[in-house]
Structure 1
Amino acid sequence: MASRDDIVKCQPSGLGLLGGRGDFAHIETIGAGAQPTYLYTSPYAGDADFSPLETRRAESGPIDHVSLADLLRNAFVYPPHTIYRDVKNLATGFALQQDMGNELRFHFAYQSASAASRPASNAVSDEALLHTYHQLLTRAVQQCTADIKAPWLLQSGGKDSTSLAIAIADVRPDTTCVTYLGGKEENEVESARFVARRLGLRHEGLVCDPARAYDRYLAMAPRMPLLTADFATLSYADLATEIGHRQGDGIIDALGVDPYFGVPLHLKDHLLRVLARSARIPGALLKHPLVGRSFKLCFALGTLQMTAFERYFPGSRFSDGEVDDMFGWNISTHSRKRMEAFHGDIEAAQSAEAVRRMVLVVLEAAGMAKGMYTAKAAGLRLAYPYCDKQFCEWIFNGVPDDRLIGPGGLNKVLMRRYIAQHFQQLPYVQSKGSFRFDVQGLARQRFEQVHAFAVQLRGLLPGAPKWLEDHRHCLGNKFFASKFCLLAVTLPWLSSRLGNATSMVESHA
């Protein structure tokens, strides 16, 4: 372990395009300030190692202001950056260019245009494809859960978790399925319960209680190695704590396969891309009674203030103007510049769908990071069977185009046919919903607590208390409550590192 005055520099050999860690052939300790700490967190390369950050529990490194702006603007820190100025995150697609002074470069090679070797539609039968799909997926489940004694599957009831449950029933029938009911919009709980019981798996449900979930997050925040503010972070903290209480020792998460199957865009996606104009809209307009009560109108005006690339990111987040007001200077420009890391791949993309694949990779810093950080804090193992490299490579190269994306933008055709072997009809065909979080309920129950955190950290975010005070009457609207949730997740993590010692943060002003 590095000492207080040292950091660990890892120089892996054979770093592939997946952003994996390769072979840790050379690990040396060097003087502080000479090089950053590199973390290798691609879920396609195995378990992330956060041990170089252990010493930061006792002494925080400098908090990066631009990374904090990233969190407020997009709910995650743009990779390869982290909330710490001197810690870099080599997520999927990033590699160290050692011949260029360890410059970090992004390139995600798994675009349809590069899959020239895919078989023709009539060259392979569904029977053969489905057999291989099951064989590779069950193998992936076995391998990634080998050291988990009592696994719990996060089962939304959708396609990904249903397909995974089928494979799990064959090789890990001791798995418990758990579905999180977060709000009235959800309709997949029935599907999840039906699937689990038909497969002979135990099923449990957990109904969101915002206060309970927030208490559980506050308890684990000091142990979370890094910070993300994905909108399901509180759901994950609630579930991880519950799993631990029920003697589970590991989580199986059904994320990771979308970039390889592909992500067709629909009319709504195209309309939102057109609507995203990087405009500046006065905050007073959004608070006007005729506007502020309408989630859809607020969402549209919020979209106008985003870039097309950032509109692909889920949820309602703070606008550039709001973030600048919180910091007291024009920091949003610096956050936007971090998109330049992906500019080369964006320019080379041959379709909007290709850009969206890239977005899904970037979003590992939100969706997958919340699981990695939460599981670490809860002392649980974390398994991503869909991130098995052999399985992903086969999906991308060995499955015909029409079994990936079908006519009319039907996604995951082969997965749907795999499910249909066991279940003819499922309720999940309606709309997505499970694992949401009741952000309005959180705002009602924990406003004063979050405001107290904002006051404590006003040396870092001087405008945060005022934003909360000015928008308290708007928090019944999910648009504003989602922004409240970003502060509710971000501020206590920072407080656990900094307390009142905001002089430790690095200033970019």
Structure 2
Amino acid sequence: MNTSLFEWPESPRVTKTHIHTSPYAGAVDFSSLETRRAQNDAIDRVSLADLLRNAFVYPPHTIYCDVKNLATGFVSQHDMDDELRFHFAYQSASAPPRPASDAVSDETLLRVYHQLLAQAVQRCTVDIKTPWLLQSGGKDSTSLAIAIADVRPDTTCITYLGGEEENEVESARFVARRLGLRHETMVCDPGRAYDRYLAMVPRMPLLTADFATLSYADLAAEISYLQGDGIIDALGVDPYFGVPLHLKDRLLGMLARSRRIPGALLKHPLIRRSFRLCFALGTLQMNAFERYFPGSRFSDDEVDQLLGGNVSRLSLKRIEAFHDDMHAAESAEAVRRVVLVVLEAAGFGKGMYTAQAMNMRLAYPYCDKQLCEWVFNEVPDDRLIGPGGVNKVLVRRYIAQYFQQLPYVKSKGSFRFDVRGLARQRFDQVHDFALQTQTLLPGAPKWLEDHRHCLDNKFFASKFYLLALTLPWLLSHPGGTVDGVEDAPTSDTNLDSIDALVRV
């Protein structure tokens, strides 16, 4: 049978392994992948397109054709491999009437919040002897540090300084010392972090290219070296408190128009030097839903060139799994809650895969079911999101009991990664990986050669980062060259309606 250069034959039907990765359901068991690794599992090229387009694989898919990811919101229908359906139940519209603003005092709310958060810390760290808290200096990690000081004062806080655009080390250090917790700082060294990642890649069960993956690998290796056996991560509370949209978010959604722009335009000398111009042109090429995802990623045209075929449209089609929930959402903020749940595949994945590789415990206190249920059902609306889009009002008031105004209110960010430094230090190494993986990514060497002179711009260096994470993982986890293309042609009508919903 003849096969077009731009299509692959359908893979034979295979029995699928389901991995339950929702952080709200407890520890993840990856043991079923240990035996499958030796069976020459086929790499899913559509999932590769997901990674290059968005830095993670759309759940319920994984990098393997026959391994499915039952992340938050996904359930199996009648135990059928292909009947996985998504529904996120914790939308404000589906919540029972919350207490009125004046029905419960701040004193009561803050007392219960502290009790539940402290209990959550106790429960999820019971098997950790020497815990380390990833402390960004922001609201979530500061709130968590307060509860940790009460029930796990043996915890060490660590803050990772990853780039020039943010520095919350002083805020984090002040919080830790005021609470009586030990504090450490780690400064990003791209080469060291990449070496540590390469060392643990063979033991990583699945693949993500989240833009903090190398930071996480660097931190996990350092914590292990310092005799820590567990990491406390402050992810998980956003879908319950909600994340209001600000003007910048709305403008970016409006700018994302799924347009095709010649790659040569981005490499024009007057454009390639400007991150903002490149970012704007990159946004024009994106789907509005996917513009909510962080970072600069490969365009659809670039992905097709990297993979040597028309695969980007199949990656884009995977958004349809979330169409029903987005259609039912009553606001743009509600749509963003869906986005946050989808992004768990990246945000939590990087920690889960790294912890598995390092044989470390991983704790997510904010994913404690009792705490989440209370926040969702019992906290008045105006303590979740306040006037003018002020988020996490209750958390801010909780912190204010212990600290005055902190720098996180004015500037945001830690745990990022120096992508330009990585490109400067490891270009030749990544290019060599690209030459070795041409069966799966035939266009990778050429993209690297064509853009070597652009990598001082974070827009292009971010794309280099995606290849730097993906290529060595593929080399360390040999898979079949048969592609897992099981999707029908994209329905433009559905995708257009998703765009319309996101831009509300």
TM-score normalised according to structure 2 size: 0.93
- Contact kept in structure 2, 1:210 and 1:438, CA below 8 Å: yes
CA distance 1:507–1:365, change in 2 (3 Å) = closer
- What SS does structure 2 have at the residue aligned with 1:303? helix
Pairing 1:312–2:292 present:
yes
Pairing 1:41–2:18 present:
no
Matches within 5 A, 1:186-201: 186-201=166-181
CA shift, 1:57, in A, is 4.1
Pairing 1:280–2:257 present:
no
The structure, 1 or 2, with the larger RCO (C-alpha pairs under 8 Å, 6+ apart) is 2
Which runs of no fewer than 5 residues in structure 2 stay unpaired?
A: 1-11, 487-504
In the alignment, what sits opposite 1:506?
Answer: 483
Matches within 5 A, 1:39-438: 39-98=19-78, 103-438=83-418
CA shift, 1:119, in A, is 0.3
CA distance 1:490–1:99, change in 2 (3 Å) = closer
RMSD value, Cα: 1.3
- Contact kept in structure 1, 2:65 and 2:484, CA below 8 Å: no
**Equivalent residue letter for 1:506:** D
Match of 1:456 among 436, 442, 446: 436
**Equivalent residue letter for 2:18:** Y
TM-score normalised according to structure 1 size: 0.92
- Contact kept in structure 1, 2:440 and 2:481, CA below 8 Å: no
**Equivalent residue letter for 2:163:** G
CA shift, 1:99, in A, is 7.3
- What SS does structure 2 have at the residue aligned with 1:98? coil
Query: 2:118 & 2:348 partners in 1: Cα distance?
Result: 21
- Contact kept in structure 2, 1:57 and 1:223, CA below 8 Å: no
CA shift, 1:183, in A, is 1.0
CA shift, 1:156, in A, is 0.1
In the alignment, what sits opposite 1:21?
Answer: none
CA distance 1:66–1:111, change in 2 (3 Å) = same
Query: 2:160 & 2:37 partners in 1: Cα distance?
Result: 31
Query: 1:208 & 1:277 partners in 2: Cα distance?
Result: 35
- What SS does structure 2 have at the residue aligned with 1:179? strand
Note the alpha carbon deviations across 1:346-377, whole angstroms, 9 max, x for none. 11111100010000000010010000000100
CA shift, 1:505, in A, is 4.2
- What SS does structure 2 have at the residue aligned with 1:73? helix
Note the alpha carbon deviations across 1:13-53, whole angstroms, 9 max, x for none. xxxxxxxxxxxxxxxxxxx9652001101000000110000
Query: 1:98 & 1:44 partners in 2: Cα distance?
Result: 22
**Equivalent residue letter for 1:244:** S
In the alignment, what sits opposite 1:17?
Answer: none
Match of 2:456 among 473, 476, 492: 476
CA distance 1:101–1:70, change in 2 (3 Å) = closer
- Contact kept in structure 2, 1:142 and 1:172, CA below 8 Å: yes
In the alignment, what sits opposite 2:492?
Answer: none
In the alignment, what sits opposite 2:490?
Answer: none
In the alignment, what sits opposite 2:420?
Answer: 440
CA distance 1:505–1:233, change in 2 (3 Å) = farther
Which runs of no fewer than 5 residues in structure 1 stay unpaired?
A: 1-31
Query: 1:224 & 1:472 partners in 2: Cα distance?
Result: 29
- What SS does structure 1 have at the residue aligned with 2:477? helix
Query: 1:283 & 1:378 partners in 2: Cα distance?
Result: 40
Note the alpha carbon deviations across 1:419-458, whole angstroms, 9 max, x for none. 0000012111122121010000000000000000000001
Query: 2:80 & 2:344 partners in 1: Cα distance?
Result: 26
- Contact kept in structure 1, 2:439 and 2:481, CA below 8 Å: no
**Equivalent residue letter for 1:371:** G
- Contact kept in structure 1, 2:43 and 2:480, CA below 8 Å: no
Which of 95-104 and 136-145 deviates more? 95-104
- What SS does structure 1 have at the residue aligned with 2:59? coil
- What SS does structure 2 have at the residue aligned with 1:121? coil
In the alignment, what sits opposite 2:473?
Answer: 493
- Contact kept in structure 2, 1:57 and 1:222, CA below 8 Å: no
CA shift, 1:93, in A, is 0.2
In the alignment, what sits opposite 2:502?
Answer: none
CA distance 1:228–1:99, change in 2 (3 Å) = closer
Query: 1:186 & 1:57 partners in 2: Cα distance?
Result: 40
Q: Which runs of 4+ in 1 moved over 2 A?
A: 32-35, 56-60, 99-102, 502-509
Query: 1:492 & 1:35 partners in 2: Cα distance?
Result: 27
**Equivalent residue letter for 1:189:** V
Count of aligned pairs? 475
